[in-house]
Amino acid sequence: MKTYLRPALVLFVLLTLITGVAYPLLITGIGQGLFPSQANGSVIERDGKPVGSVLVGQAFSEPKYFWSRPSATSPMPNNGNSSSGSNLGPTNPALIDAVQGRIEALRKADPANKQPIPVDLVTASASGLDPHISVAAARYQAGRVAGSRNIPVERVNVLIEQTQETAAFRFMGEPRVNVLALNLALDAIKS
Amino acid sequence: MTHGSWTLLVVYMALLLALAYPLGRLIARVADAKELPLASVVEKPLYRLAGVKPEEGMSWSSYAIAVLVFNLIGAVFVYGIQRLQNVLPLNPQNMAAVSADSAFNTAVSFVTNTNWQGYGGESTMSYLTQMLALAVQNYFSAATGIAVAFVLIRAFVARSAKTLGNFWVDLTRTTLYVLLPMSVVFAVFLVSQGVVQNFSAYKEIATIEKVVYQQPKNGADGQPMKDAKGEPVMEDVTAATQILPMGPAASQIAIKQLGTNGGGFFNANSAHPYENPTPLSNFLQLLAILLIPAALCFTFGDMVRDRRQGLALLAAMTAIFVAGALATMHFEQQGNPRIAALGVDQTTSAIQSGGNMEGKEVRFGVDTSALWAVATTAASNGSVNAMHDSFTPLGGAIPMLMIQLGEVVFGGVGSGLYGMLIFALMTVFIAGLMIGRTPEYLGKKIESFEIKMISIAILVTPLLVLVGTAIALMTEAGRAGISNPGSHGFSQVLYALSSASNNNGSAFAGLSANTSFYNTLLAIVMWFGRFAIIIPVLAIAGSLGAKKRLEVTVGTMPTHGLLFVVLLIGTVLIVGALTYVPALALGPIVEHLQLLVTTVTAAKAGQ
């Protein structure tokens, strides 16, 4: 047995030091040196104060803001300390009830809007922290946001257009808008 | 299928194969070369300290003992670090020690390359546990798989050989010459995309809008209060801040994908924006999942000096994979008819991904989520960028079937190749029976001993999956974990046992599996699903390596042409189908029919 134990133990220790200590430290060194903002969470600031991460979605419920996708994290939505999807199956009545509830909330906040609601606005994201909504979901909300801010809807649509991202090389990624970036841009409008 | 989804699939497969070819040849060199560049700096000092004589070969049984001893040490270490993390350094969030059953499950899970996770990373594990215990096993379990594949390949080349290589050398070289350099490059790329890499405490940031939510109200005794009906009393709570989790994530995620491990740094795995922030990081992680398993087919061809043999295996894997990917993309694009019935817009257009978006991220949409689901289950990776539990019934059935085929469609690093080679041996055996000849593969006769070992290797996982599922469903503790009603609840349990036994690690994650029942049951099936295959595979290698290599004659059945590829696909599918179709019929197939009923009813109501 000793013929096995010595190489096993020694190699375990040495390779652990290489892959478990030297390697993460090296990546931290390079990452902090070359990409400090990304390595530390892509935090964005407003007036010198951090207001969130451009990568992590926040919950919005006031009519004057674009709403993020529903989040199934607990106890509160968009809980960064406990990422999670709903894990509701496609035939689970709880899923259909939840979607129904979200449709009602959206309709109530904007009774005049009769367009069909884009699916991503009424379904929970995989992480519970999705920073994006689809371009369709942003356009759907434009009227409500413009109305509650007393600005022309065209102005809001221009902001959506300026914020939106599309598929790279026509297959990588989907048409989307970063909700936090869009809402910050809205707040920056001088009225 | 949309234009974009075809482009995605074609570009993905083309890049995958183009990258796999040079990598596969490089790995063959690592496996075969007497001396590698920089050996005196990289390898030899380690061998000297460890008392390893690199030129000394091992018999199959010595090799198996070395594998087991090394992996047992790993399991004990991972268990110990988790249990002691509260007193160890690099724990800025003051995570408590992990419970005994969860730590045991996680230790086995990471050592067996499964990376099933009963815990949520950001709320359970200290940075030290993540980097020193979990990420290290991502390397070691991957290297173990590749080493075992090397042994089986060498057995085909060897002529009357007693030894088939040295585990310590294979382990060290695979780690330092293949996995580490690739991970360094990939990890730096991931940081550039926004994957966090630091040792800071979590950030707490004041959000733009406050969030009001409800939580159970606690009474003066600290227990949740109940109203007259026995329902918990809820109170409104306002959160003005959001926690942003931090940690050395990028370094771990690089090897998690390259080593077909799949264990997430955060609970939401590769759906988490800090683990997979952009469509580009997503696409390259998707490539990383299948890269080494595909490359090993070229390695195999190189090492046996007949590239066509490797291409035949690769062709069989690719055919099954592409069919699965197309089907899953199709089903997810269809969306959920019950949600459509509410008037929600699920159509795919230039301004939205559409389809079944429950449990998916907008930046990935349905196409890459579906492609990822099939890649991560075809390979025994198990990382997810969308929640499989919320897939459409058939969209979720295909990933489950990919796992159940035994993780041989690309499969785990090393384990996919040796698994597929076992099926290739099975195929020549069946073909041999049909034409009445002694079966042989690459000049090695397949005889009674090999067939016995092949049978064990093929039958052990179905046994674990089906018996395990039966146990879980017959016990109170097993049924307690189910979170979705009806046939979907059954699918959750079947998926968990399939995933653990085949060392995949993905889940229908609604299942509450962090209980002593599931932690124990799944740990047991993970361990046997790994080593009850590795040992017969090494035994086959020992037996084949000791045999003479026969010359190719007119009577030899070619094992590289289209005919063989079709036979091989047939064998894999028939074994998988015969074993699992009855179980799948009770789960996803019933659920699909239930959804169809919705559609019909809705159509009638609309008339």
pLDDT at A30 over 80: yes
Beta-carbon separation of A170 and B4 below 8 A: yes
Q: Tell me, yes or no, if A107 comes closer than 8 A to chain B by beta carbon.
A: no
Compare CB distances from B344 to A76, A116, A124 and report the shortest one's residue: A116
Nearest CA in chain B to A137: B352
State whether residue B330 is helix, strand or coil: helix
B49 vs A contacts (CB less than 8 Å): 10, 14
B168 vs A contacts (CB less than 8 Å): 7, 11
The pLDDT, as a whole number, for residue B605 is 64
CA gap B295, B307 in Å, rounded: 12
Determine the residue among A42, A55, A104, A122 to mutate to test chain B binding: the one whose Cβ has the most chain B Cβ atoms within 10 Å. Answer: A55
The pLDDT, as a whole number, for residue B227 is 81
User: CA torsion, points B379, B249, B495, B591, in degrees to nearest 10?
Assistant: -100
Compare CB distances from A28 to B175, B197, B273 and report the shortest one's residue: B197
Beta-carbon separation of B209 and A58 below 8 A: yes
Distance from CA of B470 to the nearest CA of A (A): 21
CA gap A184, A190 in Å, rounded: 12
Nearest CA in chain B to A167: B279
Q: Tell me, yes or no, if A120 comes closer than 8 A to chain B by beta carbon.
A: yes
CB A152 within 8 A of CB A146: yes
* φ, ψ at A75 (rounded to 5°): -80, -20
DSSP tag of B32: H
CA gap B302, B467 in Å, rounded: 40
Within 8 A by CB and 6+ apart from A95, the residues are A86, A88, A89, B336, B338, B339, B358, B390
- Which residue, A70, A57, A67, is CA-closest to A141? A67
State whether residue B259 is helix, strand or coil: coil
B271 vs A contacts (CB less than 8 Å): 83, 85, 125-127
| Residue B469 CB neighbour total at 10 angstroms | 22
CA distance between the termini of chain B: 28
Nearest CA in chain B to A131: B273
Reported as type and span, the H/E element at residue A133 is strand A132-134
Reported as type and span, the H/E element at residue B393 is helix B393-404
Model pLDDT for residues A136-166, shown as the tens digit of each residue: 999 999 999 999 999 999 999 999 999 999 8
Beta-carbon separation of B203 and A126 below 8 A: no
The pLDDT, as a whole number, for residue B577 is 81
The pLDDT, as a whole number, for residue A191 is 56
Distance from CA of B246 to the nearest CA of A (A): 7
- Which residue, B534, B313, B535, is CA-closest to B441? B313
Q: Tell me, yes or no, if A31 comes closer than 8 A to chain B by beta carbon.
A: yes
Distance from CA of A36 to the nearest CA of B (A): 9
* φ, ψ at A176 (rounded to 5°): -155, 165
The pLDDT, as a whole number, for residue B380 is 94
A contact residues 56-75, partner B, Cβ 8 Å cutoff: 56-62, 65, 69, 75
- Which residue, B244, B246, B186, is CA-closest to A54? B244
Distance from CA of B383 to the nearest CA of A (A): 13
Beta-carbon separation of A173 and B363 below 8 A: yes
State whether residue B310 is helix, strand or coil: helix
Beta-carbon separation of A90 and B205 below 8 A: no
Beta-carbon separation of B74 and A12 below 8 A: yes
Pairing of β B234-244 and β B203-216: antiparallel
Beta-carbon separation of B488 and A91 below 8 A: yes
The pLDDT, as a whole number, for residue B554 is 84
The pLDDT, as a whole number, for residue A133 is 98
A98 vs B contacts (CB less than 8 Å): none
Beta-carbon separation of B387 and A83 below 8 A: no
Reported as type and span, the H/E element at residue A52 is strand A49-53
Q: Calculate the average pLDDT of chain A.
A: 96
Place of tokens 């991904």: B353
Please give the model's pTM, rounded to 2 decimal places. 0.96
Q: What is the mean pLDDT of each run of 10 residues along chain B (607 residues)?
A: 89 98 98 93 96 96 98 98 98 97 98 96 97 98 98 96 97 98 98 98 96 86 80 89 98 98 96 98 98 98 97 98 97 96 94 96 96 97 97 97 96 97 97 90 96 97 97 97 96 97 96 96 98 98 96 88 97 91 95 85 62
pLDDT at A70 over 70: yes
The pLDDT, as a whole number, for residue B435 is 87
State whether residue B267 is helix, strand or coil: coil
Q: Tell me, yes or no, if A86 comes closer than 8 A to chain B by beta carbon.
A: yes
- Strands (E) located in B150-251: 203-216, 234-244
Within 8 A by CB and 6+ apart from B536, the residues are B453, B454, B456, B457
State whether residue B289 is helix, strand or coil: helix
Place of tokens 């478990």: A20
Beta-carbon separation of A87 and B350 below 8 A: no
Q: Tell me, yes or no, if A132 comes closer than 8 A to chain B by beta carbon.
A: yes
CA gap B285, B275 in Å, rounded: 10
